[in-house]
Amino acid sequence: MNPKLNTLPLAVFATSGPLKPLVIAGPCSAETREQLLSTARALSEIDGIHILRAGIWKPRTRPNSFEGVGEIGLKWLQEVKAETGLLSAVEVAKPAHVELCLKHGIDILWIGARSTANPFTIQELALALKGVDIPVLVKNPVNPDVELWIGALERLNKSGVKRMGVIFRGVFPYEKTHLRNLPRWEMAIEIMRLFPDLTVLCDPSHIAGKKEYVFEIAQRAIDLNFHGLMIESHINPATALSDAAQQLTPLELKGLLQNLKFRTATSQNPEFVSSLEQCREKINSIDFQVLELLGRRMGLVKEIAEYKRRNNVTILQLRRWEDIINTRLAFGHNRGLPDAFIKQLFEMIHKEAIQLQTELMNKPGNGS
């Protein structure tokens, strides 16, 4: 499937310099008029920040947590805009949120990760957005499902939403790491590949979960050619009513932005171009050799399946599998390849081999 979206460039995202990413910054939640205004004043002083984010209705994991200030927060955002010129971005999860945001002149809407995971919710939001020209940013779903993410974009687009972008915020971590959400970068890269004109932002705050990791994720996103960042910033993070550990003060955010290294997507330098071309040629040739060898390996797996079938021997041979893993790990390790990578690679190869043998041994007419 090669999906197509009928989208327009996000004109509102024009930034001052050609290489500077778009930065949306602001508190996880609007809490008080004072908190929002003082945060916005400080952020508006930072070069490159033109859009303020603020959660007005908060999707909380457990009840009895702070669930947002609601409509009054939209009025504070209007005040912010009048005073600082900052545009506003707000999360919507229900048609009523859309209606209130439109009524209060909110500039950009975003759809949160939990909503993207639910096609019913997306369909309702899409209906509420019918005939309305407002930029909508769609966060990836909490589970690592690119199709679901694409489905949300398609539903919105079918409803006439033309100015769209996405925000990558990582996925629920089934394995424990130092991060709050796992940055399965391949999900965002797949979206970039399928929709080359779509604005793709990264939300390093919700990936990091702790303020000390926000920089490394932001830099990684810039290195991967993301068009911009959405970063949580609060005038006094220690007192924040949601996501206190991951919010930066405006001053810290300024420092973070100054320390980011920007690289160009490409270079016209002839030496760079020719070295890159040569390396790519070699990589192409290696990739095809890898595939050729994998094809031969699977051919041998087929032969083995036939011997096993004739001798009525089980498919899975645990000792052999253990030996494969150990010897390949040692061999790869000596060539500087990370253990986790080798393990994952051979698990995939082994899974495919088992699958192939199962099919061959259970083929009708192959009864033993």
Residues that bind ligand PEP (CB under 6 A): 28, 55, 59, 112-113, 139, 169, 206
H helix or E strand, kind and range, residue 95: helix 95-103
CA gap 227, 21 in Å, rounded: 5
Give the Cα separation of 50 and 10 in Å (integer): 14
Q: Please list the residues that pair with 43 across neighbouring strands.
A: none
Query: SS3 sequence, 307-346?
Result: HHHHHCCCCCCHHHHHHHHHHHHHHHHHCCCCHHHHHHHH
Whichever of 28 and 52 has its CB closer to Mn ion, that residue is 28
Nearer of residues 182 and 329 to ligand PEP, judged by Cβ: 182
Residue with the shortest CB distance to ligand PEP: 112
Q: From the CB of 362, what's the least distance to ligand PEP, in Å?
A: 44
State the binding partner of 105 from Mn ion, ligand PEP, none, CB within 5 to 8 A by kind.
Answer: none
Of 166 and 301, nearer to ligand PEP (C-beta) is 166
Distance CA 338, CA 343 (A): 9
If one asks whether residue 243 binds Mn ion (CB under 5 A), the answer comes out as yes
Residue 104 interacts with, from ligand PEP, Mn ion, none (CB under 5-8 Å by kind): none
113 binds, among ligand PEP, Mn ion, none (CB under 5 to 8 A by kind): ligand PEP
Closer residue to ligand PEP in complex, CB, 113/301: 113
Binding residues among 246-265 for Mn ion as defined by CB under 5 A = none
**Taking CB under 5 A as the rule, does residue 31 contact Mn ion?**
no
**Residue placing its CB nearer to ligand PEP in the complex, 57 or 215:** 57
Which lies closer to Mn ion via its Cβ, residue 53 or residue 81? 53
Least distance (Å) between residue 55 CB and Mn ion:
6
Task: Give the β-pairing of 108-111 and 136-139.
Answer: parallel
CB of 12 to ligand PEP, least distance (A): 19
Rounded Cα gap, residues 99 and 56, in angstroms: 13
Chain-centroid distance, C-alpha 25? 17
Nearest-approach distance from CB 110 to ligand PEP, in angstroms = 7
Least gap, CB of 35 to ligand PEP (angstroms): 15
Q: HSE (CB half, 13 Å, CA atoms) of 347?
A: 6
CB of 316 to ligand PEP, least distance (A): 40
Closer to ligand PEP by Cβ: residue 213 or 346: 213
> Distance (Å, rounded) from C-alpha 337 to C-alpha 330?
10
- Nearest distance from C-beta of residue 26 to ligand PEP, angstroms: 10
For 328, other C-beta atoms within 10 Å of its C-beta total: 16
Distance separating alpha carbons of residues 167 and 183, to the nearest angstrom: 12
Q: Decide which of ligand PEP, Mn ion, none touches 139; Cβ closer than 5 to 8 Å per partner kind.
A: ligand PEP
Q: How far is CA 349 from the centre of its chain?
A: 27
Give min distance, CB of 32 to Mn ion, in A.
Answer: 17
Strands (E), 121-181: 136-139, 164-168
CB of 91 closer than 8 Å to CB of 56:
yes
C-alpha to C-alpha distance for 227 and 13, rounded to whole angstroms: 10
Beta-bridged to residue 248, according to DSSP, are 233
Report the site for Mn ion in 284-303 (rule: CB under 5 A): none
Q: Are 89 and 109 in contact (CB under 8 A)?
A: yes
Which of ligand PEP, Mn ion, none does 59 bind, CB closer than 5 to 8 A by kind? ligand PEP
Q: Which lies closer to ligand PEP via its Cβ, residue 113 or residue 217? A: 113
Question: By CB under 5 A, is residue 28 in contact with Mn ion?
Answer: yes
Which 8-state DSSP code applies to residue 209?
Answer: -
Nearer to Mn ion, 152 or 167 (CB): 167
Q: Which does residue 180 touch among ligand PEP, Mn ion, none (CB within 5 to 8 A, set by kind)?
A: none
When CB distances are held under 5 to 8 angstroms depending on the partner's kind, the choice from Mn ion, ligand PEP, none that residue 183 binds is: none
Structure-token pair, residue 347: 């698990």
Binding site for Mn ion (CB under 5 A): 28, 243
